[in-house]
Structure 1
Amino acid sequence: MPDLKSSYDHVIVGGGVAADKAARAVHEKAPDATIAILSADADGPVYRPALTKDLWHGDDPDPASQDLNTAEETGADLHTGTPVTAIDTTAHSVTTADGATVGYGTLLLATGSSPRRLGAGQDARVAYLRSVADYRHLRDLVQEGTRTAVVGGGYIGSEIAAGLSAAGAEVTLFHAGDRLLGGMFPESISTHVAEVFAEKGIRLTGGFRLAGIDAGEHLTLTAEDGRSEMADIAVLGLGAQLETSLAREAGLELDGDLVVVDEQLRTSVPDVWAAGDIIRFPDPLLGDRHVEHIDHAEASGSAAGRNMVGGQEKYEYTPLFYSDLFDDGYEAVGRLDASLETVETWDADHGAAVVHYLEGSEVVGVLLWNTWDAVPTAREVIAASQAGRLSPDELAQQITPGG
């Protein structure tokens, strides 16, 4: 690790994909500029989706295969294990946990989020999965036949359960709803996913709201309704906590826990930008929103980096997100809220679908289930619907399921 200098042209706080993309954009536009990346993580930037996807299902389980080589390819001084504890926007400096003060010309906050935890000081057999260190710890816990409880039936919980099953664990997936992924998918798809998970040997337990975990010879998970289940290890996917305390303490404008940025990803404070999970940004199709997915982290990090070196680029982008669940996969744009009215279009074999989510008569989200190369068209459908050029009766003809 290089010595930490007293100042840099550009300082990036955070060590995820947004930080990587920002450093690349800065280096491309201003190759002689000095860049520091200050990350609390012990590891450098990696392609984080692989921690719940490819590393479990592919041939190479080593997270080093997902290293983005950020420092080598951008010339940035990468300082891992270096939490930033304060920002002085008047002095244009940040302070690290070990007391170092680092000046900046421009600053990017890409601090992301951390897992919501169940209390403090838990047993080492209770795991989360966000960082490379989390992944290594979980890999060490899992052997063939390990009784594993996954708590959380959302995006991350379902991916972790599939990955652990592929690694040979005996998995029970506990979720709070009536249907797995029932908050995102219509019943037709969530029922199919549940059937596939069951075929793969994953036991599903719905209506389970975790109240606590007792650690004895085995772990005992207790639900709010009094039910209890035993496991060798537990993996908790209870959602994410946005890391915006630095921004709040520095006096940046926030909307709840979200850092408010303009069309160029500038915060309310001069020379400070923000990108990734933590921002509320003006989506050109759907208005002010925030997104916690890799595509947004990459795109916003790149745009912020270019603007930090004098660009005037507007972040006019509606991000996508995606997942693979065994042999099924999907891409999606906008809001996937199963409480909304949906219009489903299936192929003849009932293996691929396009689902439009409507608020009133306007499309606010599109799910492309086993349907590929259609994200640009999905964005066009949302735009046309929002502009009143496309009625709900015309949606079935817009995208062919299966792609």
Structure 2
Amino acid sequence: MTDFRYLIVGGGMVADAAARGIREIDADGSIGIVSEETDRPYARPALSKKLWTDPEFSWDEKVDLHTEETGATFVLGTKVTAIDRQAKTVTTDDGQAHGYERLLLATGGKPRSLPGLSPSSRVLDYRSADDYRRLRELADAGAHVAVVGGSYIGTEIAAGIVQNGARVTLVTPDEVLGGHMFPDDLAQAFQQRFVDHGVELRTGSRVEQGTESDGGVSLTLDDGSVLEADAVVAGLGIEPQTQLAADAGLTVRDGIVVSSTLVTDDESVFAAGDVAEYPDRILGTRRVEHVDNAKEQGRQVGRNLADADETYDHTPMFYSNVFDTGYEAVGQVSTELQTVEDWQEPLTTGVVYYLDDDDTVRGVLLWNVSDKTDDARKVLTDAHGLTRDMLPGRITP
């Protein structure tokens, strides 16, 4: 059995940030990172963003996070199957055991799959570096790729690969692409960018069934139509990987429940990243699946593993880049809420505020407006004292 002072389950961006957070306080304590992936921690957003749009964006310099700089020991291609909290050990799928003094669960999420289809060389539940490498091969060969899902990952992948030689059909349940997030006029403009770049859209559609053959993939949509493609990418979000924690007797709701210092029911076990349900100081109990949270919460949990005992008080943002458009947001961005639009240049540069039925701001969308996420957080902090007519001009590009 190998023992570590700090043992991290999961090898994503949280693991890298946590290892670096540990080293801010403890220069020598042993760190182990057990990951199902075959790559060391890397910048996951690059898989759907910069790697497709910037030819100078190299894996070694820009994507690999070089977590080895922390002195961590990596156990890659390995799954943790059980935690023994009393013995302070974990067991892996190869029959090995690893002891810990402090344990971090950074297990992330598993992509949702399409009905009837299992992951393969033609069916990508897009999440890993291996998925990127395979999709790059397909795009370089000019394949017809069906992308299913009209949210962040789906739209970014569709935009990325159509600019790299692939033929792309994007399937989304939204009647207008982005319609679940953006006001109708903005969604229409967003959708037009995809049309202008040659993406075929199947809006208002869901995949009911898929089948794979040697020659490609066939998708049956809920309107009865059939879509044939060389490959399919599912961008349907993730399910948090909480079963390991639940089996160990830790409290799990939407995610693994942690305190403001990111500790679970067990004072020796912490959780962070996509899998953690935590108290946000502005927005209340949340579970956040975005990179800003992975980096900031990862650093804080690393410090707390090393006995800092500090509250995580960062309210994370999220962002996306497609074609010539970039947006950032804080809080809840959904057209289930009411909106107030404040455009400097109509549908090109501006801010959209999202309000609940009490006219309280719950989210802020910054459309081609950069470096204003702190201003957006301030709006959310002050939301109960703001009326609708006080919002226009509050955040300026």
TM-score grouping bracket, smaller chain normalisation: over 0.9
Does 1:392 pair with 2:385?
Answer: no
What's the counterpart of residue 17 of structure 1?
Answer: 13
Residue 45 of structure 2 is matched in structure 1 by 49
1:261-288 Cα offsets, whole Å, 9 max, x none, are 0000001112100000011111111110
Secondary structure, aligned partner of 2:391: helix
Task: Tell me how many residue pairs correspond in the alignment.
Answer: 393
Verify the 8 A CA contact 2:186 2:347 in the aligned structure 1: no
* In 1: Cα distance, 2:157 partner to 2:118 partner: 23
| Counterpart check, 1:346 vs 2:343 | yes
SS of 1:254's equivalent?
coil
What's the CA shift string for 1:139-187, capped at 9, x where partnerless? Answer: 1222353211111111110001001111111111111121111111111
Matches within 5 A, 1:223-238: 223-238=221-236
Select the residue among 66, 73, 77 that pairs with 1:77: 73
Gaps of 5+ in 1: none
Residues in 1 aligned to 2:39 and 2:144: alpha-carbon distance in whole angstroms = 29
Provide the secondary structure at the position in 2 that maps to 1:142: helix
For the 8 Å contact 2:13–2:44, the answer to whether it is kept is: yes
Question: Any idea what SS the aligned residue of 1:28 has?
Answer: helix
Q: Which amino acid aligns with 2:302?
A: G
**Alpha-carbon separation, structure 1, partners of 2:365 and 2:154:** 19
Matched, 1:116 2:112: yes
Cα distance in 1 between the residues matched to 2:351 and 2:119: 42
The answer to whether residue 52 in structure 2 is matched with residue 59 in structure 1 is: no
**Structure 1 residues 296 and 122, CA, compared in 2 at 3 Å: closer, same or farther?**
closer
SS of 1:36's equivalent in the other structure is strand
Q: Which residue pairs with 1:271 in the alignment?
A: 268
Match among 130, 142, 145 for residue 142 of structure 2: 145
For the 8 Å contact 2:240–2:274, the answer to whether it is kept is: yes
**Residue aligned with 2:236, SS:** coil
Decide whether aligned partners of structure 1 residues 61 and 140 sit closer, same or farther in structure 2, where only a CA change above 3 A counts: farther
Matched, 1:189 2:186: yes
SS at match of 2:201: strand
Give yes or no for contact 1:51–1:63 (8 Å, CA) kept in 2: no
Q: Structure 1 length normalisation: TM-score?
A: 0.94
My pick for the range that moved more, 53-62 or 319-328, is 53-62
After TM superposition, the structure 1 = structure 2 runs for residues 157-168 of structure 1, keeping only pairs within 5 Å, are 157-168=154-165
Instruction: Tell me, yes or no, if the aligned pair for 2:241 and 2:275 is still in contact at 8 Å.
Output: yes
Q: Which moved more, 1:136-145 or 1:18-27?
A: 136-145
Contact 1:87 1:93 in 2 (8 A): yes
- Distance in 2 (alpha carbons) for counterparts of 1:214 and 1:248: 34
In the other structure, the counterpart of 1:132 is 129
How far does the alpha carbon of each residue in 1:6-35 deviate from its partner, in whole angstroms, 9 at most, with x for none? 211110000000010000011121001111
Give the deviation of 1:61 after TM superposition. 6.7
Within the alignment, does 1:323 sit opposite 2:311 as a pair? no
63, 82, 92: which one aligns with 2:88: 92
CA distance in 2 between partners of 1:375 and 1:61 (Å): 25
Deviations 1:43-69 (A, max 9, x none): 110000000001111104754441001
Whole-angstrom distance in 1 between the partners of 2:32 and 2:142: 44
- Tell me the distance in 2 between the aligned counterparts of 1:364 and 1:144: 44
- The offset of 1:243, in angstroms, is 1.0
Deviations 1:332-360 (A, max 9, x none): 00000111000000014542110000012
Q: Retained in 2: the 8 A contact 1:63–1:132?
A: no
Q: Is the 8 A contact 2:49 2:160 kept in 1?
A: yes
Distance 1:60 1:126, change over 3 A: farther
Q: Is the CA contact (8 Å cut-off) linking 1:211 and 1:224 kept in structure 2?
A: yes
Q: Deviations over 1:221-256 (max 9, x none)?
A: 101231111112111112212111110111100114
Q: Which runs of 5+ in 2 are unaligned?
A: none
Of the structure 1 ranges 120-129 and 375-384, higher mean CA displacement relative to structure 2 is found in 120-129
Q: Whole-Å Cα distance in 1 between the matches of residues 320 and 174 of structure 2?
A: 20
User: What is the SS of the residue equivalent to 1:197?
Assistant: helix
> 1:152, 1:237 within 8 Å by CA — same for their partners in 2?
yes
What is the CA–CA distance in structure 2 between the aligned matches of 1:43 and 1:167, rounded to whole Å?
A: 24
Percent of pairs with identical residues? 44
1:293 & 1:195 partners in 2: Cα distance? 26
1:35 counterpart (31, 37, 44):
31
Alignment correspondent of 1:356? 353
